[in-house]
A and B are shown apart, each in its own frame.
Chain A
């Protein structure tokens, strides 16, 4: 079974631009979560989508948004980029059903650099 895939793997943008990152979950998984990893703040939860609906949300400004499509693929968008948005963005997928032995499996991440 293929794992979680993220595109692009690397991205360089300038301040003020906007960016869209993509995540394809493991086949059969309906939940996709996004995390931001920086040296200073560590791994922080951004949001989770389940069956095209945002189910959980972290403490990030409105510049960070996401969506999920009917095939469970997800995108996240960051508008008006700031230098502090430079980070590794990780996507994770899971069945989304807590009653089972459900676990989040992570993709390789997208490394975003804002200049």
Chain B
């Protein structure tokens, strides 16, 4: 069965600190897709990144970086030099190819609080 685990329920950091959000997934499919979404207080889920199972390259986008390791079934998200605007709930999600991408399995989310 497919499952996504975000063990960190809440994280609190001070501005400019680096922070890593953990994500561990389970799937029996060999082709799958991993996502990170950000949910600010307004409620709308904002897409951050998509990674395909056959592409283990790490990615950096500004202050954001993602580390995908199939060997440990992890897809961790690091924010460098955090800012107050990064405060939100972050969700990791999994989609399996057999569902043709239309079904996302979400982790429980990590609430990040960045204090000035």
On whether the beta carbons of B47 and A98 are closer than 8 Å, the reply is no
Say whether B66 faces chain A, with CB atoms less than 8 Å apart.
no
CB <8 Å contact, A42 and B108: yes
Count residues of B near A (Cβ-Cβ below 8 Å).
22
Which residues of A lie under 8 Å from residue B47 when comparing CB positions? 103-106
Instruction: Say whether A109 contacts B101, CB under 8 Å.
Output: no
Q: Does B16 contact A (CB under 8 A)?
A: no
Q: Mark B37-50, 1 if CB is under 8 A from A, else 0.
A: 10000111111001
Q: Which of A43, A45, A105, A107 counts the most chain B CB atoms within 10 A?
A: A43
Residue B103 at the A interface, CB < 8 A? yes
- Residue interface mask B1-16, A partner, CB < 8 A = 1: 0000000000000000
Tell me the minimal C-beta distance from A35 to chain B in angstroms.
Answer: 7
Chain B residues, Cβ within 8 Å of A102: 101
Residues of A within 8 A of B103 (CB): 33, 45, 48, 56, 58
Taking a contact as CB atoms under 8 Å apart, the answer to whether B44 and A94 are in contact is no
A96 CA / B97 CA spacing, docked (Å)? 11
Q: What is the interface of chain A, defined by CB distance below 8 A to chain B?
A: 31, 33, 35, 42-45, 48, 50, 55-56, 58, 88, 90, 92, 94, 96-98, 101-109, 111
